Amino acid sequence: MQNILLIIGVPSLLYGFWLSNDFTGIAAGISIFLFGMLALEQGFNAFTGGTLERILRITTQTNWRSLWFGILATSLMQSSSLVSIITISFISAGLLELAAGIGIIFGANLGTSTGAWLIAGFGLKVNLSEYALPLLVFGILFIFQGHKKLKGLGYILAGLGFLFLGIHYMKESFEAIKETLDLVEYAIPGIRGLLIYTLMGFAATIIMQSSHATMVLIITALAAHQITYENALALAIGSNVGTTITAILGSLGANVEGKRLAGAHFLFNIITGVLALALIKYFEACVDWVAQILTIAADNYTLKLAIFHSLFNLFGIILLFPFIDNLVKVLENAIKPAKSNIFKPKYLTDSAAGFPETFVESVRLETIHLYENAIHIVLKTFGLHRRDLLDNESLWNALQKDSTGSYYDIDAGYEKRIKGIFSAIIEFISQATFSREMEQSSKLYWLRNSGRHIVEAIKDTKHLQKNWIRYGRSQSAEARDEYQKIAFQIALMIREIEQFRQKIAQNELPLLSLDSLKSKIEEDDLQVTRQIEKLIREKKITPQTGSSLINDSAYMYSIKSNLVKAAETLFLHKSPQMFRPELKLALDDSEIKQVIEKINPAYEQNSDLN
């Protein structure tokens, strides 16, 4: 599509440049304006390392708040595309509900009309180039600074400078073209004109990928009397619908939630556009009435166009906002998730990679996916399923049933369920472009470590599997029993981690309560070692069997420790600042050993033996 546009566009532009200097001026004005928007977006991106995300989280708890966020953020950043892309990223990473995202998009549609107000009310009345030049100078000065935020500010200033310069060029060129060519002669009245100009506005926005740029072009052309007011209204409607294409393109790299949001954007703009076209006469009357109230002159068509743009978007919001929850249901039914493949990464989407916070959250969710797959492998190795974890009795019965030691191919399981996802996580993390000093970098470090703990747990399970099968078929009931206890304890720890995960919200001190799990690992290790020694002493197992059991109890210890460490990062580090005070009080390994020593006085002696 882009190639076709390029093939048609380049010769057409060259022909236009040859034909008219004023056309060159208009095209250059649009290009400078679009470049300004790119710079502006880059500038605001510098502030998305936490601040914007925090505001987004706080301000999107209800649909109303989301609507206001959309209006204010778009008015401030003058880019509904940036707001849409941020929203899609947050939805893709699961940090935002679809309903809240829809609220933001509705608000962004209204917020984008502030641009029309600014240009029509201010941009056309003053010589913007006078403001553009100092802005560019200060912008470039700040861009050369090392500090990220100053650089961002530089891009914003330079962006505004280019926007003003672009508007100035468009305005001047439309004024000049008036003397040689009167485009109003090509105005098309009636319904035919309405439809043709709507399509033209739609096409122009798709080509420029910015409804803002199209609106500026319409307003400057209207101010220079190069298009009629009626045709300008149609162009504005077309541009409003055309902007959804940017959102649809942006959602291609998003997951199903992002696609649903783009669907909501498309539906909102299509419905509003169709209604605006159908009720255009009523809207025109309404615009006249509002203009009268605001004491805007009857022939001030640029400001009346801004009123029209705000009115029909507001109309759409009033009409659709009460039905956001219904819209969510419709979209959930219409856009179904692709059949989930547990062997492939689910959350590492291009869209989630857009911002530091969504980047980290998608890595966290993917590592949880990895953890779930690892748990499946560990349980399968001992012939267990998740359903067996319900209570101690069913768990023990399931282990007894599998006492012959059925074989599960861990290598195949690792290749299928772990390797691909873990490699994708590592690759994804390596692509992180945000600064190393940022809080998100340390989160990524911990998440990568968490992945490593998960892989270690599987490797230990593989080591343990050899004797689990061997002694599962052994004649020695004691040896068989001890291996079943090892498997039982691992499964029990998986269950306790699961219970801990489910009750985090109710847990007053979640991080500190993990110390109990850690102490349990130590205690179990001690009990197993004592039991093995007792069995050897009573000659119920051979010393060879005993040494195998001691080695394998070390693997059990390692599996459990690795799973707890992984869980600590995955389930608690979602918001580490919440647990920072607890972190200082958490016990380290030696302190946990001290506790066990105190409760089991013979522990020290055993530790020395080990």
**72 lies in the binding site for another protein (CB under 8 A):** no
**581 lies in the binding site for another protein (CB under 8 A):** yes
CA distances from 332 to 113, 254, 261, 350 (A): 29, 15, 10, 21
Distance from CA of residue 309 to its chain's centroid?
30
Alpha helices by DSSP H, listed for 349-438, are: 356-381, 392-401, 410-413, 420-430
- Cβ proximity to another protein, 176 vs 492, nearer residue: 492
- Cβ proximity to another protein, 286 vs 512, nearer residue: 512
**175 lies in the binding site for another protein (CB under 8 A):** no
Ramachandran area for residue 434 (φ above 0: left; ψ -120 to 50: alpha; else beta): beta
Q: How far is the CB of 584 from another protein (least distance, A)?
A: 5
- Cβ proximity to another protein, 97 vs 515, nearer residue: 515
**439 lies in the binding site for another protein (CB under 8 A):** no
Total Cβ atoms within 10 A of residue 595? 17
Identify the residue among 249, 515, 530, 606 touching another protein (CB under 8 A): 515
**582 lies in the binding site for another protein (CB under 8 A):** yes
Contact region with another protein (CB under 8 A), list: 213-221, 262-270, 539-547, 583-591: 583-591
CA distance 280 to 465: 74
Identify the residue among 585, 589, 604, 605 touching another protein (CB under 8 A): 585
Q: How far is the CB of 592 from another protein (least distance, A)?
A: 8
Q: What tokens does 569 get?
A: 């990062």
**586 lies in the binding site for another protein (CB under 8 A):** yes
Tell me which residue of 153, 169, 161, 164 sits closest to 137, measured CA to CA: 161
Tell me which residue of 28, 321, 335, 386 sits closest to 172, measured CA to CA: 28
Identify the residue among 512, 530, 554, 606 touching another protein (CB under 8 A): 512
Site of tokens 């001030």: 300
Using CB under 8 A as the criterion, what x/- string covers residues 523-542 for binding another protein?
x-------------------
**599 lies in the binding site for another protein (CB under 8 A):** yes
Q: How far is the CB of 379 from another protein (least distance, A)?
A: 25
CA distance 255 to 253: 7
Q: Which helix (H) or strand (E) holds 521?
A: helix 510-537
- Cβ proximity to another protein, 523 vs 533, nearer residue: 523
**594 lies in the binding site for another protein (CB under 8 A):** yes
Contact region with another protein (CB under 8 A), list: 91-99, 217-225, 241-249, 511-519: 511-519
Identify the residue among 339, 537, 539, 598 touching another protein (CB under 8 A): 598
The answer to whether 422 and 537 are in contact (CB under 8 A) is no
**601 lies in the binding site for another protein (CB under 8 A):** no
DSSP 366: H
Tell me which residue of 346, 287, 337 sits closest to 312, measured CA to CA: 287
CA distances from 445 to 76, 95, 420, 429 (A): 34, 20, 19, 9
3-class SS of residue 294 = coil
Q: How far is the CB of 595 from another protein (least distance, A)?
A: 5
- Cβ proximity to another protein, 314 vs 512, nearer residue: 512
- Cβ proximity to another protein, 26 vs 596, nearer residue: 596
Tell me which residue of 139, 185, 196, 199 sits closest to 164, measured CA to CA: 139
CA distance 177 to 219: 15
- 489-508 residues in contact with another protein (CB under 8 A) are 508
Q: How far is the CB of 493 from another protein (least distance, A)?
A: 15
- The answer for residues whose C-beta is within 8 angstroms of residue 118's C-beta and 6 or more apart is 78
- Cβ proximity to another protein, 179 vs 508, nearer residue: 508
**521 lies in the binding site for another protein (CB under 8 A):** no
Size of the site for another protein (CB under 8 A): 20
**97 lies in the binding site for another protein (CB under 8 A):** no
Identify the residue among 20, 129, 474, 519 touching another protein (CB under 8 A): 519
Q: Following CA atoms 20, 23, 25, 29 in sequence, which dihedral angle do they give, to the nearest 10 degrees?
A: -170
The answer to whether 583 and 511 are in contact (CB under 8 A) is yes
Contact region with another protein (CB under 8 A), list: 231-239, 408-416, 516-524, 555-563: 516-524
**591 lies in the binding site for another protein (CB under 8 A):** yes
Instruction: Give the residues lining the site for another protein (CB under 8 A).
Output: 508-509, 512, 515-516, 519, 523, 581-582, 584-587, 591-592, 594-596, 598-599
